[in-house]
Structure 1
Amino acid sequence: MFMAGEKVSFVAFRGINQDGGIMMAHLRKLLIVSCLLASASFAEASGVVSEQVNFLAEDGRNALIYTTSRSDYSNYNLWFRDKEGYDTEDYIKDFLYIYPYEFTWDTVSRNGYTLLKLPERSFASLEQVEFEEGVTLQVSEDGVYTYDNWGDKVKTPDGHYGLWNSPDNFQNIAYSWVFPANLEPVEYRANREGEWVRRHNTITYYGSNVNDLVFEIKYRPSSHETYEALKKKLADESQVEIAQEPTGVKLTVAATVLYPSGVAVLSDTGKSILSKVAETLKDRRNLNIIVEGHTDDVPISRRLASTFATNWELASARSINVVHFLAEEGIEESRFESAAFSFHRPVASNDTEKGKAQNRRIEMLIVESGRKG
């Protein structure tokens, strides 16, 4: 059992217990454990058919999870571990859909648990879930996501783990992931024998007579080829930070590298860096470039006030001049967006000179056409 106050992540359990029930638990960092339990009106347990579909969000860290189970049992109960200060409705605040919805609550019969009692033999739900990084989700420096449904390696009191049934195995189970356009599967495997099928942006595991299922799903942004190309092209440019984002690639260049202090005219070093960027991107016509100008919070000096009234004008001029240069290098103007944020989106504290230097920057977000960064 999980002790009070223990930090737990999202894990899904399903099981038919010794009383002839089906259990599903979502162990989450909120310390809520919800279990699906079905009471049998007959002596022998029958097979359970279950499906789970994970609709992955564009950020790669959240999902909508649709779950359904069917058996010959007469009813189901959703079990939630009691949490201090929770009303009954708080336990299902992340559920967008529950069927059947004609349920009742039982806060008495099971010590330490609140039960949501469902009167049907079939059950379906839609839940919004955030994967917990470092437990169920690992993200590498090059932007590869690895999801493990048994990330915390905690077993149930009777020794089950992952996705499970008790006392019998799943008769049939389908476990699917639906990927958004900006993410793509890399590797996927289960610890039990079964068949994987990939169709378009969906992967599905089909298993029969299986139990204690552990799934490892690896996926990455579909822009990974652009990321690798820019890393190679800019390998000698230590002043440029390249990051793989879920929706694209982000380049960050210190403003002092691109521009002399207090001006918006590109330096020779800045032109050299941007030429390499243009060479990499100009033939990738499915990609757009969003150029953002950022400053620190130091007011414009009196000497420069006639040119740039505030940091808004300075940030805007620097962003626009990057666009002009990249366009001159062969990238169509229709592929650009220019934005300025003045000092309102800092990445470091403006209380130190080091922080101010980090905040004076140009960011370029390379995204697929029609997609925002």
Structure 2
Amino acid sequence: MARSSSCSPTRRRRGWQSRRERVILAAAVLPEGGQGGARLLATALVRRECMRSWKLAVPIGALALAGCVSQQTYDQQVQQTQKTVALEQQYLALNQQLRTEIAADQVQIRQLSDRLVVTFVDEILFASGSAEMHAKGRGTLAQAVPTLAALSGHWISVQGYTDSEPIGPALRGRYPTNWDLSAARAVDVVRYLQAQGVDPTNLVAAGYGQYQPVAPNDTAQGRAKNRRIEVVLRVK
């Protein structure tokens, strides 16, 4: 199930609570001696924070008998637990670091089953037609650097997207297509993150141009949604 950092005023007016408790249950089944039984160890992490009305529970699959699970299955369960908890911690940290921009609808954070997607509207990072971040953009991105720099064993994929408007004559010599512009923006973000201490072996830059829109390009609002930078965090 996907979830997002956005808190809609309309939904709050419908009576949705703005603060919720979340419980993450991480469980592991460990054999006890030769008795054939099992000992269930569980830890619960409870957090209260502004969010939608969803609640997240992470089932790990506790079994009644240790003999019912193979070593391979057990290892997979442990690995999946670690990945889920890591994503949860990153989600919480980035929501705190970018809370002002999230409230202003300039940044959105989505937690999917295997990754986090942090979406920046292009204007918060770049001037129109430019592939070099402005000072405000660098300042915005700097807030997330502590979380990104602390990651180990993660891919940090920076992905650039544009609307379908063709590149104007003044910029066409430098960026012949929207692919070129989106890729140049992604590379600029990657270079900045590396300069701020993010491990370059974790960084990837990609440009998608206008070919993966999230909204129709026939309105100004839709085009604005399509002009974006996404930072995707995924365990290697």
TM bracket (short chain): 0.5 to 0.7
Give the conservation status (yes or no) of the 8 Å contact 2:4–2:109: no
Match of 1:260 in 2: 127
Q: How does 1:98-117 map to 2 (within 5 A)?
A: none
Task: Give CA-to-partner distance per residue, 1:316-345, whole Å, 9 cap, x none.
Answer: 000000000000000011111111111111
Structure 1 residues 253 and 196: CA distance shift in structure 2, 3 A:
farther
| TM-score, normalised relative to structure 1 | 0.43
Please, which of 208, 217, 226 is the counterpart of residue 350 of structure 1?
217
Larger Rg: 1
Q: Secondary structure at the match of 2:169?
A: coil
Write the mapping of 1:1-373 to structure 2, written as runs, cut at 5 A.
186=25, 198=40, 202-204=61-63, 221-222=84-85, 223-237=87-101, 238=104, 239-368=106-235, 370=236
How far apart are residue 235 of structure 1 and its match? 1.0
C-alpha distance in 1 between matches for 2:64 and 2:4: 28
> Cα deviations across residues 4-38 of structure 1 (Å, max 9, x unaligned)?
xxxxxxxxxxxxxxxxxxxxxxxxxxxxxxxxxxx
Q: Distance in 1 between matches of 2:3 and 2:135?
A: 34
Q: Is the 8 A contact 2:3 2:110 kept in 1?
A: no
Q: 1:226 to 1:351 in 2, by over 3 A?
A: same
SS in structure 2 of the partner of residue 227 of structure 1: helix
- What is the percentage of aligned positions where both structures have the same residue? 29
The 2-side partners of 1:140 and 1:281 are apart by: 20
Higher-strand-fraction structure: 1
CA distance in 2 between counterparts of 1:236 and 1:196 reads 47
> In the superposition, relative to structure 1, how do residues 340 and 141 fare at CA in structure 2: closer, same or farther (>3 Å)?
closer
Distance (whole Å) between structure 1 residues aligned to residue 113 and residue 198 of structure 2: 23
RMSD: 2.8
Query: How far apart are the structure 2 equivalents of 1:230 and 1:294?
Result: 21
Find the aligned partners of 1:357 and 1:308 in 2 and give their Cα distance: 19
Code of the residue aligned with 1:204 in structure 2: it is L
Hey, what's the Cα distance between the residues in 1 that align with 2:176 and 2:4?
40
Question: CA offset at residue 198 of structure 1?
Answer: 4.6
Q: Which amino acid aligns with 1:352?
A: T
Change (3 A) 1:196 1:294: farther
Cα deviation for residue 221 of structure 1 reads: 3.2
Task: Considering Cα pairs closer than 8 Å and 6+ residues apart, tell me whether 1 or 2 has the greater RCO.
Answer: 2
Residue of structure 2 equivalent to 1:78: none
Report the Cα distance in structure 2 between the residues aligned to 1:359 and 1:236, rounded to whole angstroms: 21
Conserved 8 A contact 1:196-1:203: no
Secondary structure at the residue paired with 2:224? helix
The structure whose residues are more often helix, as a share, is: 2
The total of aligned residue pairs comes to: 173
In 1, the alpha carbon distance for the partners of 2:207 and 2:192 equals: 17
Q: In 2, are the aligned partners of 1:221 and 1:248 still within 8 Å (CA)?
A: no
Look up the equivalent residue of 2:182 and give its one-letter code.
Answer: A
How far is 1:363 from its partner? 0.2
Q: 1:234 to 1:346 in 2, by over 3 A?
A: same
SS in 2 for 1:274: helix
CA contact (8 A) 1:197 1:204 kept: no
Measure the CA separation in 2 of the matches of 1:251 and 1:140.
Answer: 12
CA contact (8 A) 1:293 1:318 kept: yes
Q: 1:316 to 1:141 in 2, by over 3 A?
A: closer
Distance 1:318 1:304 in 2: 14
